[in-house]
Amino acid sequence: MKSPIQSSWLLDYMILSLCWGTSFLLMREASKSFGPFLSSWLRVSIACLILLPYIIEKGDFPQLIENWKKMVIAGLLSCAIPFCCFFYALTSLSTGLSSVLNATTPLFGALIAWVWLGEKLNPLRVAGLLLGFLGISSLILNASQPGELHNTQHVIAILACLLGTFCYGLAANYSQKYMSNFSPMFNATGCLIGASVALFVPALLDLPKDWPSWSSTLAITLSGVFSTAAAYALFFRIISKIGAARSMTITYLVSLIATCLGLYVLDESITLIMVASALVVLMGTALSSGLVAKR
């Protein structure tokens, strides 16, 4: 039988995958009316309004002020930069491609842990890194329509996704190294406040000329409540239980949910070679993160 701890993190894992899996649809809809900076600021600020009262009630707000530098850095890496990247990318990329590129987070996480934290990589994990990057290259080439790789905006959108996932991998390792002594809710709230502060000025410069549509407004609200406030509280709780490397593997399930939603809700197209390339990426990240171990 599973222990209560195992059962609790598995339940958190499944709920979080749904929160983040639907976030690609919400971001795509929100990006129609809001720019990437304003969308990102609204998403983290809505989440702040939900989580901050809990921190104040617990009496942890002074500690939040004392550790403001850590929170700003974590907020930039885990929220501000990645959100801006994906909001921008989803204006030109499909949710399926964006979500599979998002699944490279454990790939970068393992590479960063090796370079920065001195975590050992066995030959199997090194092979996973190489396989993952090979899969990314294949996916980019085969998911792009004829001529799109000569389209600067399309290429920049792909690179933006990869920059976002690199920051996610860096954020998870940063959190494990410098913020493990704080509670998951404290870390989540601190990161969101740090991101909100960092994005405030760019958001002011990114105000829309026209009044946003109701669908975009609803999308950004749901994104702030479920895909951010609830999701980040769950994510930091999962990190505290199973560590950064295993926590980042949730992007596998997220990419599956987002791709399925893109197929059935947005009628996005997908080919067999794109599926094969995505499987190569997922296998590479599974190997590199240590999820698949040599027996």
- pLDDT tens for 222-269 read 999 999 999 988 988 888 887 776 777 787 778 888 888 888 888 887
- Alpha-carbon distance of 261 to 128, in angstroms, equals 28
Is the per-residue pLDDT at 35 higher than 60? Answer: yes
**Exposure string over 152-174, b if 16+ CB within 10 A, otherwise e:** eebeebbebbbbbbbbbbbbbbb
240: phi then psi, degrees, rounded to nearest 5: -65, -20
pLDDT reported for residue 145 = 59
Whether pLDDT at 83 is above 50: yes
On average, the pLDDT of the chain sits at 84
Name the residue type at position 130. Answer: L
* pLDDT tens-digit series, residues 185-231: 898 899 999 999 999 999 999 898 888 899 999 999 999 999 999 99
Token pair in block for residue 228: 């951010």
- pTM for this predicted structure: 0.83
Q: Is the pLDDT of residue 147 over 60?
A: no
Does residue 168 come out as left (phi exceeding 0), alpha (psi in the -120 to 50 range) or beta? alpha
pLDDT band, residue 3 (cuts 50/70/90): very low
More confident call, 27 vs 117: 27
Question: Of all residues in the chain, what percent are helix, strand and coil, respectively (each to 5)?
Answer: 80, 0, 20
- Please tell me the distance from the alpha carbon of residue 140 to that of residue 2, in angstroms, as a whole number: 40
Residue 2: pLDDT band (50, 70, 90) is very low
CA 139 to chain centre: 19
CA 161 – CA 207 distance, rounded (Å): 23
Rounded average pLDDT over 129-134: 79
